[in-house]
Amino acid sequence: MGFTSANEQYLSKIATNEQHGENSPYFDGLKAYDNDPFRTNQNPNGVIQMGLAENNLSYDLMEDWIKKNPEASICTTDGVDKFKDVAIFQDYHGLPEFRKAVAKFMGRVRGDRVTFDPDRIVMAGGATGANELLMFCLADPGDAFLVPSPYYPGLDRDLSWRTKVQLFPVICESSNNFQITPEALEEAYEKAIQAKVNVKGLIIINPSNPLGTILDTKTLQALVRFINDKNIHLVCDEIYAATVFSSPNFISISEIIEDVDCDRDLIHIVYSLSKDMGFPGFRVGIVYSYNDAVVNCGRKMSSFGLVSSQTQYFLASLLADEVFVEMFLTESAKRLAKRHGIFTNGLEQMGISCLKSNAGLFCWMDLRSLLKEATVEAEIVLWRVIINKVKLNVSPGSSFHCVEPGWFRACFANIDDETVEVALQRIRLFVGKGKEKEVVAVKNKPWQKNLRLSFSPQKYDESVPPPCLMSPHSPIPHSPLVRTRT
C-alpha cells in the first residue's frame, strides 16, 4: 500500500528526499507504458516501450543453452544433487567458481587484452548496487563526483539518494559530438571547488548511456592523467562493454592503466551482466577495484546486496562454456548491428538524424527541429505529445542532464521486429514524411489496423494534458515537469 504525503512525517529524510529521481520524465515514461502497454493484438494503440535499455535480441540462444545444460540449475532433476551445497549460507566473497568465471568473462569481453583477478571481484545487486557500494566506500555525505553529461538518469539515484554524494555535471555539447574535453573537466572541477565542495572523483560510463559512443584511447588517457593530477578517484561504468557492434573496438580503462603511469588505487570498474548478456533480472553487479582497501571494505558492504547462490552457480556453469560465450557475443553483436541499422535508417528516411554510435541498446535522436523554441519547457511539451499521442516512450534529453533541448534517447533492443516497424510508422506519421496510404491495413498485419493515431503531422498542442503516468503501485507523486503547462 502506498504512502500519502500526510504519512511522510513518519518516514526518514533519506526515504523521502527527492534525490531518488523517480519523479522525472524518464521514470514517468516507464510508468506510462506500465499503464497502457502496447500489445500486437490485445492493445495495438498502447504505448510502445522504447525507454528501457534491455537486450532481448538473443534470448533464444540462452534458452537453447539452458535446454542442453539442465544440470546448470539446482532447480532441475539433473542439478538437484547440488541443491543443498548451493542453498546453504555463502560468505561475502561469493562462490569461487563464479568469481573465476566472471573474471575470465570480463577479460573475454575486452578482447583478452587484459586479465582480471577473481580475488578482486566484489558482488553487488546489479550495477545500481555496485555504484552505490563504491560511493559508500569512496565518499562521505556532501562530497562530490564529476559526471560527464548527458548521463543515465538513474545515476542520481544510484550515487546520491542514500549516500548524499553530490554530482557535478561535466558539460558536453553536440558541436563536438558530446566528447569530453579537458576544458569542460576543469570547469566542472573549479565550479565544485568554488562551491567549497570536496571533489572525490570522476565517474564515466563507457560505452556511453545515452550516447551509444565509446571513449577513444587519447580521451581515456587524458581522464587518467586528470584524476591522477587531482588525486581523485576514477569510477568506470563499463556495463555496455559487449554491446559494441561495429568499429572502433571498445577500450577498457584496465587497458589504459597498463600504459599510463598513475596511482592504481584510484581506479575502479563497475560491471554487470544486465546489458551484455541480457540478465537485468538476475541482479548481477560487480565492483572491480585496484585498491585493496576498497575491495576489503566493499566485500563487507556487499552483504547488503549479494547475488543469490543459485544465480552464481548457474552463471558459473554458463560463463565457463567458452564455446558458447564466443558464439553468443558474436551473434549478439550481429543482431544489435542489424537492429540499430533498421531503426536509424528508418529515422533517416524521415529526416531524423541520430548521433553516430556503435554501441549500446539505444540511439540518441536529434528532434531539435520539432521544438517550437530551444528550451527545456518546449522539449517537455514535445515529450508529452510523443507519450500521449504518438504513444512512444522515448526519454527527453533534459532527464539525462543534457544542456541542449531536443535530444531524445530511444531504445531499440527490447522490442521485436514487428514492434520496431510499428514504432517507425508512428514516427513517420507524426513528422509528416509518410502518406496516409502507407499505413493502410495490410493482410496478415493485424497490428496496422488501428495505426491511424489521433494527431496531425508536425503539429502539437501545448494544451494537451499529460497521460495518466503514475503506476498504480507507486507512492511517488507525478514529476513537476510532467505537470508543467507552458
Q: 99-108, 249-258, 297-306, 361-370: which range is least confident on average?
A: 297-306
Average pLDDT value for residue range 9-33: 75
The pLDDT score that the predictor gives to residue 20 is 66
Which residues, in sequence order, are CB contacts of 203 under 8 Å at separation 6+? 131, 145, 146, 147, 155, 159, 234, 235, 236, 237
Average pLDDT of the segment spanning 130-134? 95
Across the range 194-213, mean pLDDT stands at 96
What is the CATH architecture assignment of 70-320?
3-Layer(aba) Sandwich (3.40)
* Triad 32, 37, 42: Cα angle to 5°: 150
- CATH superfamily, domain at 5-52+326-483: Aspartate Aminotransferase, domain 1 (3.90.1150.10)
| pLDDT value of residue 439 | 42
Could you give the percent of the chain with pLDDT greater than 90? 67
Average pLDDT over residues 298-325: 89
- Amino acid, single-letter form, for residue 21: G
Q: Which residue has the higher pLDDT, 263 or 81?
A: 263
Beta pairing class for 199-205 and 267-272:
unpaired
Mean pLDDT of 289-298: 95
pLDDT value for 222: 97
Comparing 2 with 201, the larger pLDDT belongs to: 201
State pLDDT tens for residues 140-171.
999 999 999 999 998 998 898 899 999 999 99
pLDDT at 462: 42
Give the pLDDT of residue 323.
96
Contact partners, residue 440, CB within 8 Å, separation at least 6 = 448
Q: Is the pLDDT of residue 108 over 60?
A: yes
pLDDT score at 80: 80
Q: What residues are annotated to the active site?
A: 152, 237, 239, 275
Query: With bands split at pLDDT 50, 70 and 90, how would you rate the model's confidence at 343?
Result: very high
pLDDT at residue number 475: 32
pLDDT confidence band for 136 (50 / 70 / 90): very high
Instruction: Read off the C-alpha cell for 336.
Output: 544489435
| Per-residue pLDDT, 278 | 86
Q: Note the Cα 256 to chain centre separation in Å.
A: 23
List, in order, residues 6 or more apart from 293 with CB less than 8 Å away: 265
Average pLDDT taken over every residue of the chain? 86
**Between these two residues, 19 and 261, which has the higher pLDDT value?**
261
* % of the chain residues with pLDDT over 70: 85
CA 475 to CA 64: how far, in whole Å?
Answer: 40
Q: Are 286 and 117 in contact (CB under 8 A)?
A: no
Per-residue pLDDT, 21: 63
Query: What is the CA 251 to chain-centroid distance, rounded?
Result: 19
- Span 229-274, pLDDT tens digits: 999 999 999 999 999 999 999 999 999 999 999 999 999 999 999 9
Nearest to 224 by CA among 192, 268, 193, 191: 268
pLDDT score of 368 more than 60: yes
Interatomic CA distance for residues 278 and 91, integer angstroms: 26
pTM of the model: 0.85
Quickly state the pLDDT bin for 297 (edges 50, 70, 90).
very high
Cell of 105: 568473462
pLDDT band at 479 (very low <50, low <70, confident <90, very high): very low
Q: Among 9-13, 359-363, 466-470, whose mean pLDDT is lowest? A: 466-470
C-alpha 247: how far from chain center = 21
Amino acid at 265: D
pLDDT digits (tens, 9 = 90+) for 428-442: 999 884 444 344 433
Q: Where are the domains of the chain?
A: 5-52+326-483, 70-320
